[in-house]
Structure 1
Amino acid sequence: MKRLLPISVALFTLALAGCGEESDESPIDGRDFDAGDYGEPRPYTGRVIDGYLRNARVWLDMDGDSQYTPGPMTFENSAGTEVTLQGGEPTAMTGEDGVFSLDITELVQDPSISPDIDPRDFPLFAVVLPGQTMEQTRMGDVVLEEAYMLSALPGVRNVTPLSHLVRQRRLIGLQDLLVASNELAEALGNVNMVSDYVRSGDHRAHAYARAFARFMASQFPEQYSDMLRNGDGRERYLSEEAVYLLGVSFARNALAVVRVVDEAASQGNYENINIDELPLPEVPVELDDPVILERQTVLARGEGSQLPATMSNLSVSAELMFDYSEDGRLTSVTANGCMTPSMREMARLINVRGKIAGTNIQWMPSISLSQQSANYYEAEGPDERLVFDWQSRTATFETTTTCHPGLASSSALGAPAAISYEWTMADAQVQSLTATSGDKTEVLEPDDQFGNDAFFGYTRSVDGVEQETMALTDSIQSCEGDIDPDDADAALVVSAQQSYTVSGSIVPADGFNSLALEFDNRNDRFRPLRFGFVDEAMASTPGVSNTEGFDWAFYYPFENSSEFVEDQPNLISVAYLNRHGGGRACGREFERTPSAAYARVNYSYQRLSEYLSGLVE
């Protein structure tokens, strides 16, 4: 996942203007020696700075994976020639005043085979070794006890928290701060982001750098820090994606850090700020970079406001956008149009502490069939929002619509919630989820017996009266041996079922019996295909004709499609809301997409890193 972007020569020349004299030691042609005077190239030198850092590991990241790569390593140069570097990426430990000197002898090539490799074409990386790296201060050397990683744009040899911010913004594809017109650029003002601010005595830049370093250290993985404490900095732990996610979070929170520093600088006195006491943001980060649900597009507007409707007569009635924090937790779901929060889906999410990728099947649809939804969708701006507060174990649902009979609406989002949720936990699982709206109290109590990633049993009561009990009556039963050989290679096959019952004050419709959840669990996958349910509110929606109950049917991308995610193969591509079809045989090829339905829901996904990158500015 290499994101290095072309460097603008004009901007880069301007950026190098403040790099310090060591940045000008290399001749203009990139070669570090003159054949008439030298037998060996000059070392590639620079500094690692928070204050000056001694005994930090530095390397030239030639393969773009953000970790040190030992030799022998194969490198393809600009001419397409493969070059083997027996020593791996040039690396060294910093010395006095943070100075490092990289041996780049192996980058000089036989001109008949390959042009020389210019070290200025690659970014420098540095890592602080806790308990080993020392910061030189005016009060003496201080041993650093927390690890963090720094980098700099190719050619820049002052490796600092400021240069790291410049490079991270470049990777994301944002404007350089020298030319950007945004709050961060304005807050930083005329700070030289690639200079030796210790040498120049720029206390403001130094204060920002120290605060940035503390913020980055707070996010650094503890396991990697432990490795570095007992190592020499050449240990590999983070993936390229993990380093990128840490960088995105840094870039996203840099403005907040700058503002905290500015507030602490009494009358511009940046020199005497106690950085260790500043209330910096605390932002946990998910480093696995999972694919997460970005949006659901709901097509539930029927011709003449009647449902079900043929596929050609279904149009968009709502769009749901999913928002996340850096640690991959779902923070809110915002709807243009109407949605119907599902307490069952909320409970599944709560069980994985809000990290939607941990649910395996991400957010089964919970929609509104109200034909008013399309009118709100067509109007500008969001209409409903479900917001999670994971620390307080609460959530709220706000609506500005009239899609929900008996539910109070407001004129704008941000007003008092129409529904307030709270939950209790036992053994890391939801014990009860309570929804309060006006004088109504609804409680969902999960029953985990025979439960799985997608389904669990539950009892749902309203104002103390049991409304519905769904009970899984057995574990998932495989019928893979019953699959017809002609269907064995079909994209979706019902290879397992799980029986369940529905009871309570809700009277199931005729034919709503012999119930079974259907799955395709071939090839060690777990794909829900169909489940039936009764929903009186949905069935009584004006224009909806249903006395038999409903089925959700799920479809998944083909393995050779661009939508297929190899390490997350159970991501739903599209879902259809159908009339309940009764019991069906296990072992059959799953039905093709229907010609008519109450609704179709299209899913869109993206990597967490891509989502967070879009939020930096």
Structure 2
Amino acid sequence: MKRLLPISVALFTLALAGCGEESDESPVDGRDFDAQDYSEPRPYTGRVIDGYLRHARVWLDMDGDSQYTPGPMTIKNSAGTEITLPNGEPTAMTGEDGKFTLDTTGLVQDPSVSPDIDPRDFPLFAVILPGQTLEQTRMGDVVLEDAYMLSAPPGVRDVTPLSTLVRQRRVIGVQDLTATTNDLADALGNVNLLSDYVKSGDHRAHAYARAFARFMASQFPDDYASLLRGGDGRERFLSKDAAFLLGVSFVRNALDVVKVVDEAASQGNYENVDVDGLALPEVPIELEDPVILERQTVLARGEGSELPASMSNLGVSAELVFDYSEDGRVTSITAHGCMMPSLREMARLINAGGKIANTGTQWMPGISLSQESAGFYEDEGPDERLVFDWENRRATFETTTGCHPGLASSSALGGVAAISYEWTMANTQVQELIATSGDKTEVLEPDYQFGTDAFFGFTRTVDETEEEIMTLSGDVESCDAAIDPDDADAALLVSAQQPYTVSGSIPQPDGFSPLALEFDNRNDRLRPLRFGFLDPAMASTTGVNNIEGFDWAFYYPFETSNEFVEEQPNLIGTAYLNRRGGSRVCGREFERMPSAAYARVNYTYQRLSEYLSGLVE
């Protein structure tokens, strides 16, 4: 809720300063007047600066969406009264020396309805129009060909890349750089982030600002830039979430930009830094702000080291933490305790370009049932890590544990990889995924016939022996006619199946076949519910007595719960590892959560913007 302060109509529209001349000067640090001294309102003026920028669009962002909003628009004051502004947010184009004057007469209100609206309660925004905005330099005006957006905290009227940094940190909710100690605060030193650095001749601040502007321009959406090239800056394009993500990425990478500028400033000569020639960070960004998997908590510690165990006797044995870059790609998965990377899941992630949100159902579990895992989990620090090198199509798995017989372990992460992965692509899909560990080579060759986002067939070869061949026997088949009307509205319903076979050198126990993947395909969704599999290594784990095979069963949040994400409905809430239950009919209500299991995996999600914000110091 924005704070609205009373300003009399007569004073609000007064255009002359006390000396009889119009005043449009801000204090040198860019701040507006202190509220207690605000007895004679002046025109709401300021500057847009990289160098001074002429013909840039500036506006007062009153609805908090980071885009210009035309009239009529409605906002609420602190008392909850709705106020309609026929002309929308005050806006103007900058003129000589980057100066602008906003017409704020529309903020004057009928005192019987609401106090007047104080423009100092809202942030200023400015957008650079490619091919139109001019930067004033010592060599004359320069046409800017790259679009970017600037902002300033409420009450600050010098809108610059540095004021943008200040505001974005406040929006994220971290301390101002003047009130905290971190690497960025130390690097910026005594730079005044809210000043007119052109007027004061602060070449260091100006060099940082120009580099910041270049970085922001590099992340600015091309489609928005094209729209602005032929427009006047009032075009709406970014969602509020997208604008926030741009700001978070800027804040996260500001230190790296500063370091590049400092390195180029030989002996502190910032005036002659060639900012256009600097090798600034290149950071792809995802602006849709998807929900991403933050962590999996694995409960596979059995009572007396025996599995399966009742839910009340299953304890936490591992926790997997997922790390991401600004574009939503998984950079690494870190385990406190033990995990076992699944080649099939890795291939699904690779097919999604590393963006876990694009897999739909995010990261079906790959866990270790070793009871040693719980001991490592309880010790401080990470124990295993799966790291992706997307550019070179490689990944590595490191472990400091003894959970994996035959795998080399290191004394600390960052040492020699226990498993090295590499993959080849064909038509944007994995053609072959190779895992090398010691003298063992494991190869996954996907078969995409009849495949879905959740499952595909494959041949898994170990040292040239075809150990496991999963073949999808046809398309997903709905069974609407078999659904009992009393079950039609069940939270989870097996409404579709897809037959498959498993062959290869792995011995199949009696009753393992026939096999069918189970789905809930209502409401145009395809939620995986259950699938059976063989895993000799898992079955032979100490304390695990299983000769029938395993089932993974997946459960999803109720649609009325806070955990349900309408645009991403296939986010698993909880997964259970059960003893293989055999073939079951299609059309039934999906089984209730089991009372005992080999493992339970709890999923925790968050928005990409929340994740990235949490990394800002």
Report the equivalent of 2:283.
283
- Counterpart Cα distance in 2 of 1:334 and 1:24: 47
- Counterpart Cα distance in 2 of 1:337 and 1:24: 54
Report the equivalent of 1:63.
63
Give the secondary structure class of the aligned counterpart of 2:53: strand
Report the equivalent of 1:481.
481
Shift of 1:441: 0.7
Shift of 1:365: 0.3
Q: Which amino acid aligns with 1:218?
A: S
Q: Which amino acid aligns with 2:593?
A: T
- Counterpart Cα distance in 1 of 2:90 and 2:474: 60
Q: 2:26–2:46: 8 Å Cα contact kept in structure 1?
A: no
Q: Which amino acid aligns with 2:176?
A: D
Give the secondary structure class of the aligned counterpart of 1:178: helix
Q: Equivalences for 1:527-542 in 2 at 5 Å?
A: 527-542=527-542
Report the equivalent of 2:47.
47
> In structure 2, do the counterparts of structure 1 residues 27 and 464 end up closer, same or farther at CA, with 3 Å as the change threshold?
closer
- Counterpart Cα distance in 2 of 1:24 and 1:159: 12
- Counterpart Cα distance in 1 of 2:365 and 2:483: 29
TM-score scaled by length of structure 2: 0.95
Q: 2:191–2:205: 8 Å Cα contact kept in structure 1?
A: yes
Report the equivalent of 1:228.
228
Q: 1:396–1:420: 8 Å Cα contact kept in structure 2?
A: yes
Deviates more, 1:71-80 or 1:543-552: 71-80
Q: Equivalences for 1:393-412 in 2 at 5 Å?
A: 393-412=393-412
Shift of 1:464: 1.3
User: Is 1:176 aligned to 2:176, yes or no?
Assistant: yes
Q: Which amino acid aligns with 1:278?
A: L
- Counterpart Cα distance in 2 of 1:22 and 1:354: 43
Report the equivalent of 2:304.
304
**Residue deviations 1:568-587, cap 9 Å, x none?**
11100000000011110100
> In structure 2, do the counterparts of structure 1 residues 484 and 212 end up closer, same or farther at CA, with 3 Å as the change threshold?
same
Q: Equivalences for 1:88-99 in 2 at 5 Å?
A: 88-99=88-99
Report the equivalent of 2:555.
555
Q: Which amino acid aligns with 1:71?
A: G
User: Is 1:249 aligned to 2:242, yes or no?
Assistant: no
Shift of 1:481: 2.6
Report the equivalent of 1:427.
427
- Counterpart Cα distance in 2 of 1:328 and 1:213: 23
Give the secondary structure class of the aligned counterpart of 1:316: strand
> In structure 2, do the counterparts of structure 1 residues 615 and 181 end up closer, same or farther at CA, with 3 Å as the change threshold?
same
- Counterpart Cα distance in 2 of 1:80 and 1:329: 41
Report the equivalent of 1:511.
511
User: Is 1:123 aligned to 2:131, yes or no?
Assistant: no
Report the equivalent of 1:380.
380
Shift of 1:29: 6.7
> In structure 2, do the counterparts of structure 1 residues 308 and 5 end up closer, same or farther at CA, with 3 Å as the change threshold?
farther
Q: 2:434–2:444: 8 Å Cα contact kept in structure 1?
A: yes
Q: Tell me how many residue pairs correspond in the alignment.
A: 597
- Counterpart Cα distance in 2 of 1:21 and 1:302: 63
Give the secondary structure class of the aligned counterpart of 1:603: strand
**Aligned sequence identity (%):** 77
Q: 2:338–2:403: 8 Å Cα contact kept in structure 1?
A: yes
> In structure 2, do the counterparts of structure 1 residues 183 and 596 end up closer, same or farther at CA, with 3 Å as the change threshold?
same
**Residue deviations 1:85-113, cap 9 Å, x none?**
11110001000000011100110111111
Shift of 1:480: 2.1
> In structure 2, do the counterparts of structure 1 residues 359 and 233 end up closer, same or farther at CA, with 3 Å as the change threshold?
same
Report the equivalent of 1:354.
354
Shift of 1:43: 2.9
- Counterpart Cα distance in 2 of 1:45 and 1:520: 59
Q: Equivalences for 1:6-405 in 2 at 5 Å?
A: 19-20=27-28, 24=32, 33=41, 42-405=42-405
**Residue deviations 1:125-175, cap 9 Å, x none?**
000000000100111111000000000000000000000000010011111
Report the equivalent of 1:416.
416
Report the equivalent of 1:439.
439
Shift of 1:463: 1.3
Q: Which amino acid aligns with 1:60?
A: L
Q: 1:31–1:118: 8 Å Cα contact kept in structure 2?
A: no
Q: Which amino acid aligns with 1:545?
A: N
**Residue deviations 1:26-50, cap 9 Å, x none?**
98576765xxxxxxxx531100000
- Counterpart Cα distance in 1 of 2:78 and 2:243: 25
> In structure 2, do the counterparts of structure 1 residues 21 and 388 end up closer, same or farther at CA, with 3 Å as the change threshold?
closer
Q: 2:169–2:251: 8 Å Cα contact kept in structure 1?
A: yes
| Unaligned ranges ≥5, structure 2 | 5-24
Report the equivalent of 1:36.
none
Q: Which amino acid aligns with 1:343?
A: L
**Residue deviations 1:296-327, cap 9 Å, x none?**
00000101111111111110000000000000
- Counterpart Cα distance in 1 of 2:148 and 2:133: 11
- Counterpart Cα distance in 2 of 1:18 and 1:376: 59
> In structure 2, do the counterparts of structure 1 residues 545 and 260 end up closer, same or farther at CA, with 3 Å as the change threshold?
same
- Counterpart Cα distance in 2 of 1:325 and 1:22: 34
Shift of 1:450: 0.3
Shift of 1:560: 1.1
**Residue deviations 1:269-317, cap 9 Å, x none?**
0000000111111111100000000000000010111111111111000
Report the equivalent of 1:12.
none
Shift of 1:507: 1.2
> In structure 2, do the counterparts of structure 1 residues 309 and 94 end up closer, same or farther at CA, with 3 Å as the change threshold?
same
Give the secondary structure class of the aligned counterpart of 1:592: coil
- Counterpart Cα distance in 2 of 1:388 and 1:5: 47
- Counterpart Cα distance in 2 of 1:27 and 1:255: 34
> In structure 2, do the counterparts of structure 1 residues 28 and 136 end up closer, same or farther at CA, with 3 Å as the change threshold?
farther
Shift of 1:432: 0.2
> In structure 2, do the counterparts of structure 1 residues 189 and 505 end up closer, same or farther at CA, with 3 Å as the change threshold?
same
**Residue deviations 1:57-86, cap 9 Å, x none?**
000000001110010101112232211111
Q: 2:459–2:470: 8 Å Cα contact kept in structure 1?
A: yes
- Counterpart Cα distance in 1 of 2:44 and 2:421: 59
- Counterpart Cα distance in 2 of 1:328 and 1:425: 21
- Counterpart Cα distance in 1 of 2:3 and 2:412: 42
- Counterpart Cα distance in 1 of 2:270 and 2:175: 27
> In structure 2, do the counterparts of structure 1 residues 432 and 115 end up closer, same or farther at CA, with 3 Å as the change threshold?
same
Shift of 1:260: 0.7
- Counterpart Cα distance in 1 of 2:30 and 2:45: 7
Q: 1:447–1:458: 8 Å Cα contact kept in structure 2?
A: yes
- Counterpart Cα distance in 1 of 2:471 and 2:99: 67
> In structure 2, do the counterparts of structure 1 residues 19 and 216 end up closer, same or farther at CA, with 3 Å as the change threshold?
farther
- Counterpart Cα distance in 2 of 1:312 and 1:224: 54
**Residue deviations 1:201-226, cap 9 Å, x none?**
00000000000000000000001000
Shift of 1:239: 0.5
Give the secondary structure class of the aligned counterpart of 1:232: coil
> In structure 2, do the counterparts of structure 1 residues 428 and 550 end up closer, same or farther at CA, with 3 Å as the change threshold?
same
- Counterpart Cα distance in 2 of 1:557 and 1:245: 27
Give the secondary structure class of the aligned counterpart of 1:271: helix
Give the secondary structure class of the aligned counterpart of 2:59: strand
Q: Which amino acid aligns with 1:196?
A: D
Report the equivalent of 2:14.
none
Q: Which amino acid aligns with 2:541?
A: T
Shift of 1:378: 0.8
When the two chains are superposed, the root-mean-square deviation of aligned CA atoms in Å is 1.6
**Residue deviations 1:339-383, cap 9 Å, x none?**
000000000000011000000000000000001101111111110
Q: 1:301–1:314: 8 Å Cα contact kept in structure 2?
A: yes
- Counterpart Cα distance in 2 of 1:114 and 1:26: 22
Q: 1:23–1:46: 8 Å Cα contact kept in structure 2?
A: no
Give the secondary structure class of the aligned counterpart of 2:566: coil
- Counterpart Cα distance in 2 of 1:434 and 1:60: 55
TM-score scaled by length of structure 1: 0.95
Q: 1:5–1:171: 8 Å Cα contact kept in structure 2?
A: no
